Amino acid sequence: MNTEIKYRPAYALGIVTLNPNEGIRVDSGAMVSMSADMQIETKAQGGIFASLGRSILGGESFFQNTYRAGASGGEITVAPPLPGDMFTMELHGETLLMQSGAFVACSESIALDTKWTGAKTFFAKEGPIMLRASGTGTLIFASYGAIHERTLGTGEKYKLDTGHIVAFNDGMGFEVQRVGGLKSTFFSGEGLVVQMTGPGRILMQTRSEDAFLSWLIPHLPKSNSN
């Protein structure tokens, strides 16, 4: 499998070239185009309970599609629903936690499930559940806006807004905190932050869906009660 990301960071498109008879697992609705002889299989990946966990708790589609190239190989293009960037990561027996809605596609060898991140995250944008990708293979995920990466050393701490988290290595320490005192938390417009502790990689998105909706909703036309 070979992956190329084009038109980044605003309207990224993933172009995936598959070897003969090779398959790729794609989130429902993420396929843009494909070779004419590509075969598709739709199923509840991992079984009913695993699919329910991804759908209800992790915010992903209940069904996932596996596209398989023909005898001479093939091409498939994928994209997320929101404008923004895409990121390709090669996993080598490691685990990555992603925000709900970030998953786009992956190798068949990558396992996807959900992880309870603790009741303390109930007040974070991500909620108590995140999507967990583990194994060896190619993982493609997306952000709202561009992706900014930060690598932390052992014991190094770093704070970021909860609405800007895209993904981070499983095993990193994290704690959701108020941005300051109660007045700052409620009136500064910043809300909550998460303090990450290394070692590990953090991938952040340069825009926040929540911030955009907070700006958009007051500007929407009001219905006339008459």
Q: What is the pLDDT of residues 6-50, one digit of tens each?
A: 999 999 999 999 999 999 999 888 999 999 999 999 876 554 445
104, 108, 79: which is closest to 1 by C-alpha?
A: 108
CATH hierarchy code of domain 2-213:
3.60.160.10
Q: What is the pLDDT of residue 62?
A: 54
Q: Please, what is the average pLDDT of the chain?
A: 82
Residue 126 and residue 202: Cα distance in Å, rounded? 15
pTM listed for this prediction: 0.79
DSSP 24-40: EEEETT-EEEE-TT-EE
Indicate if the pLDDT at residue 118 is higher than 80.
no
Q: What is the pLDDT of residue 226?
A: 55
Q: What is the pLDDT of residue 184?
A: 43
Q: Among positive and negative, which fits the CA dihedral 204, 205, 208, 209?
A: negative
More confident: 50 or 173: 173
Average pLDDT over residues 174-183: 67
CA 9 → CA 18, 84, 87, 166, distances in Å?
24, 6, 10, 14
What percent of the chain is predicted at pLDDT more than 90? 55
Indicate if the pLDDT at residue 187 is higher than 50.
no
More confident: 17 or 119: 17
Residue 178 and residue 102: Cα distance in Å, rounded? 25
| 95's tokens | 């685990």
Q: Band of the pLDDT at 204, cuts 50, 70, 90?
A: very high
Average pLDDT over residues 73-100: 94
Q: Band of the pLDDT at 56, cuts 50, 70, 90?
A: very low
Residue 92 and residue 217: Cα distance in Å, rounded? 42
Indicate if the pLDDT at residue 121 is higher than 60.
no
Q: What is the pLDDT of residue 51?
A: 47
Domain ranges of the chain: 2-213
CA 214 → CA 43, 156, 189, 211, 217, distances in Å?
36, 32, 10, 5, 6
End-to-end CA separation in angstroms for the chain = 58
| 170's tokens | 């499983």
| 145's tokens | 């806006």
**DSSP letter at 127?**
-
Cβ contact 150:158 at 8 Å: yes
Cβ contact 106:29 at 8 Å: no
Alpha-carbon Rg for the chain, nearest whole angstrom, is 19
